[in-house]
Amino acid sequence: MKKNIEKNFSFAKEYYLEYGINAEDVINKLKNIPVSIHCWQGDDCGGFERADSILSGGGILSTGNYPGKARSLKELRSDLEKAFSLIPGKKRLGIHAMYGDFASDNIDRNKIEKEHFNKWIDWAQNLNIGLDFHPTLFSHDLSKDGFTLSSRNKEIRKFWIEHVKRSREISNYIGESLKSPCVMNLWIPDGTKDSTVNRLYFRETLITSLDDIFSIKFPEKNLIDTIESKLFGIGSESYVVGSYDFYLSYALKNNLYLTLDTGHFHPTELVSDKISALLPFIKGLMLHLSRGVRWDSDHVAIMNDELVAIMQEIVRADAFNKTLISSDFFDGSINRIGAWVIGERAILKSLLFALLEPIKILRKYEQEGKLFARLGLLEELKSMPFGNVWDYYCKIMNVPIGDEWIEHVFKYEEDFLSKRN
């Protein structure tokens, strides 16, 4: 019952204490773990470069046309603020280059400047959040043939290399301005729909482009570089130049962070299993949390087994100093703010569930060979009063408890979203 939040938490606190877990300490830790929330859920990954900004393949597609999509940066920021008010904890915001404040300027992506993102910096300072950055190498005339940094065309490669270089300069500027490292994540749509006999050529070309881009060094206190793979995309179902093996090798060789997107792997692959395999070797990991459904990625994150397992792996390895958490989903078929809130709260719930795990007892069972007890306790954890701790956390963070947030979204839709054409 919502009116008994403190009483329920007191019960849960005593329950977890029997297993050596201090729920208040866990809450204090959760408060300070930042999650980077992606901006593109608010407008279906369209951006505001031009009035006619549209999606154009490259593995990027947001389905649905639910009323109320943000039509301007002002509306997008308003929607983000509403979503933030319903999500507890420390936040960052990930923005794509195509979300710059270009006003009436017809700026192409190889000409973007720092000043196009000053309003984002001011906005972030007012909200006391960090910003992360993503170059935008899709939805453009020079990416419509499926190749950017690995293109055979030297001029096309030059255009995109310049775009990413400027994106890194902007990211460094953002990090310096906010006094918090800006994570710049590089993903490209390059690949082919059907079979290619030139796999090595495109990958060697991509290496040359990346070497040029990363030859410029910036202080890590301002900028963290990470690169992201994908198994397939729209128009690159048969061959993706920037595959997992490619980017893993490049990241290890060049001491970069590697991004693992939970929707970018084969449906039978588990990102949770990759974390402990990579941590001893990689500089750091960025997690893009979404939900793959069959062969489609970027569905709204929910608290499923894999999301919980990912958080358990981070907690069990105490890898917060090498692991960055962010979301990356976009669904235009439902209320977009509701999608944000569902996904981000699911990420935080999964993280809280992992933090409440009595790892010392589980490790003791494992070390003593009492494997039935290890499995038995893992099963019992599923019915422990985790929800009482979550409700209390939401209460002290001044966000809605339980399903109360749904009414807030309905009200915002009635007052604002329904009035957008």
- Active site (catalytic) residues: 187, 228, 230, 261, 264, 288, 296, 298, 328
Secondary structure class of 133 (helix, strand, coil): strand
d(CA 202, CA 191): 9
- Helical (H) or strand (E) element with 324: strand 323-327
Which residue in the block uniquely carries the two structure tokens 């775009």? Answer: 163
The number of CA neighbours under 13 Å toward the Cβ of 225 is 22
d(CA 170, CA 134): 10
Give yes or no for a contact between 308 and 347, defined as CB atoms under 8 angstroms apart: no
d(CA 349, CA 104): 42
Interior angle at CA 42, CA 71 and CA 100, nearest 5: 65
Give yes or no for a contact between 400 and 394, defined as CB atoms under 8 angstroms apart: yes
- Cα distances (angstroms) measured from residue 51 to each of 34, 74, 101, 368: 33, 14, 13, 65
Number of residues written out for the chain: 421
Give yes or no for a contact between 203 and 239, defined as CB atoms under 8 angstroms apart: no
Q: Which residue in 259, 60, 247 sits closest to 150, CA to CA?
A: 247
| Pairing outcome for strands 35-38 and 91-96 | parallel
Q: Which residue in 108, 117, 114 sits closest to 137, CA to CA?
A: 108
Burial (CB count within 10 angstroms: exposed 0-12, middle 13-18, buried 19+), residue 416: middle
Q: Which two tokens mark 140?
A: 């453009």
Task: Please name the amino acid found at residue 151.
Answer: S
